[in-house]
């Protein structure tokens, strides 16, 4: 199939592009390279050295004989360019990763909130709008987030997208209906993904767009089978307080002798998935497309749940590190449970990679190899959810800053 991977230069987009290319699909990456610009803005770089997208695709062709095509397009701002590209190429599948993905970054300031909303919502709507206008019957696969559900619990497993409810009629009878599971976003980023859900629901109902929405957990790990083929194909690895995912952050902190930073009491339970499983799930979704007129197909793309403090203690035990409990920059419950259904991917044959010490050690080996690239001052998570929280945050967990003698 001809597949457009929007945001294919990113953390999940790049290994997905390689995986699907190796399966024989014709891959076109559309990306505005904004994630690289954000690195420049934040003054931090991927732990793993990343070549340009042109060099990465050249190496892939050199190693495999397969070409990945790159197109510099800003989906949120260049509607006509996007529409003209879709009209000319008419892909069979569009995989949509092209959104600002970090909750902390989305909460840094009013400017970052505006950017996240403008970029994410406009990109999604421009894509849907163009597909309908062109009569493009492509399967749209979107990478969403478990965060649309929120992290509170009512003592029941979170279903895959839809919730059966009973509604009392005027005559006193109860009518059964399935609705989108009520969203409860915890950040501006998660809120944009909640808005995506509504856009998808409308365009599937109104125009018959075939859509799969993947509610993904927190991704950990670095390598996939394809990124191991050559050092220059390595995936990006974020460790900073805005973009580093929690388990990867713990592993890099342990590797360089930095305190493992747990925020609050660490009672937050999160859903996780290994990067190799993430790309495998996208392949499974690709091969199980909804039919025209179907409602949006929603999968929970996660394989296990863990409490943050338990992860920190496990990594500290493996690596001999210390755990530091710091003020929480997020506005969230101190403790929560999380039970999630992922029956659909298991039924399609997903055999999950679970969190094992061997795989953790593999990530730590990558961290140690590139430890010389770490800027320790960028590790603390200091993007506050509210102005009241900001003064309470710890900017120097190591206690190494110069202090006044007065």
CA-to-CA dists, residue 94 to 86, 115, 185, 209, 298, angstroms: 10, 23, 25, 12, 16
CA-to-CA dists, residue 214 to 93, 146, 300, angstroms: 15, 9, 6
What are the DSSP E strand ranges found in 32-92? 68-72
Report residue 62 CA to chain centroid gap.
29
Note if 203 is an active site residue. Answer: no
Q: Which of 151, 193, 245, 303 is catalytic?
A: 193
Report residue 265 CA to chain centroid gap.
24
> Residue 385 has which token pair?
């959810």
CA angle 290, 139, 157 (to 5 degrees): 50
Q: Which of 149, 181, 189, 243 is catalytic?
A: 189
Specify the pairing of strand 211-216 against strand 297-301. Answer: parallel
Place of tokens 């394809």: 226
What residue spans of 135-208 are helical by DSSP H? 188-207
Note if 193 is an active site residue. Answer: yes
Rounded CA-CA distance 127/317 in Å is: 46
CA angle 328, 256, 248 (to 5 degrees): 55
What are the DSSP E strand ranges found in 26-138? 26-31, 68-72, 93-96
Rounded CA-CA distance 297/289 in Å is: 8
Query: Collapsing DSSP states into helix, strand and coil, what is residue 179?
Result: strand
Note if 145 is an active site residue. Answer: yes
Cβ proximity of 18 and 230 under 8 Å: no
Query: Collapsing DSSP states into helix, strand and coil, what is residue 214?
Result: strand
- Residues forming the active site: 145, 189, 193
């Amino acid at each position: 199939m001809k597949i457009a991977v929007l945001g294919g230069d990113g953390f999940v987009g790049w290994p997905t592009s390689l995986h699907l290319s190796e399966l024989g699909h014709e891959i076109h990456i559309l990306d505005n390279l904004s994630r690289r610009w954000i690195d420049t803005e934040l003054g931090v770089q991927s732990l793993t050295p990343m070549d340009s997208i042109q060099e990465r695709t050249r190496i892939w062709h050199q190693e495999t004989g397969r070409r990945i095509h790159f197109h510099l397009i800003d989906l949120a701002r260049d509607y006509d360019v996007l529409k003209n590209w879709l009209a000319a190429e008419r892909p069979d599948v569009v995989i949509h990763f092209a959104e600002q993905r970090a909750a902390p970054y989305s909460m840094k300031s009013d400017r970052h909130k505006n950017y996240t909303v403008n970029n994410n919502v406009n990109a999604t709507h421009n894509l849907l709008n163009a597909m309908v206008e062109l009569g493009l019957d492509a399967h749209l696969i979107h990478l969403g987030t478990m965060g649309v559900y929120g992290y509170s619990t009512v003592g029941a497993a979170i279903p895959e997208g839809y919730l059966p409810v009973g509604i009392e009629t005027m005559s006193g009878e109860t009518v059964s209906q399935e609705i989108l599971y009520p969203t409860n976003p915890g950040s501006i980023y998660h809120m944009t993904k909640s808005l995506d859900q509504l856009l998808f629901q409308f365009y599937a109902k109104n125009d018959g767009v075939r859509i799969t929405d993947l509610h993904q957990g927190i991704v950990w790990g670095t390598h996939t089978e394809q990124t191991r083929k050559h050092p220059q194909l390595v995936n990006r690895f974020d460790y900073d307080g805005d973009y580093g995912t929690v388990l990867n952050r713990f592993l890099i902190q342990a590797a360089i002798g930095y305190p493992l930073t747990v925020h609050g009491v660490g009672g937050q339970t999160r859903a996780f998935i290994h990067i190799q499983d993430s790309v495998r799930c996208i392949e499974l979704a690709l091969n199980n497309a909804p039919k025209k007129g179907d409602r949006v197909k929603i999968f929970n793309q996660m394989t296990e749940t863990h409490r943050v403090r338990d992860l920190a203690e496990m990594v500290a035990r493996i690596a001999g590190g210390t755990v530091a409990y710091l003020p929480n920059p997020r506005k969230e419950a101190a403790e929560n449970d999380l039970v999630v259904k992922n029956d659909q991917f298991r039924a399609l044959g997903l055999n999950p990679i679970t969190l094992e010490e061997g795989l953790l050690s593999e990530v730590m080996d990558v961290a140690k190899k590139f430890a010389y690239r770490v800027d320790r001052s960028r590790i603390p998570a200091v993007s506050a959810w509210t102005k009241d929280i900001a003064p309470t945050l710890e900017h120097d967990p190591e206690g190494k800053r110069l202090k006044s003698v007065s």
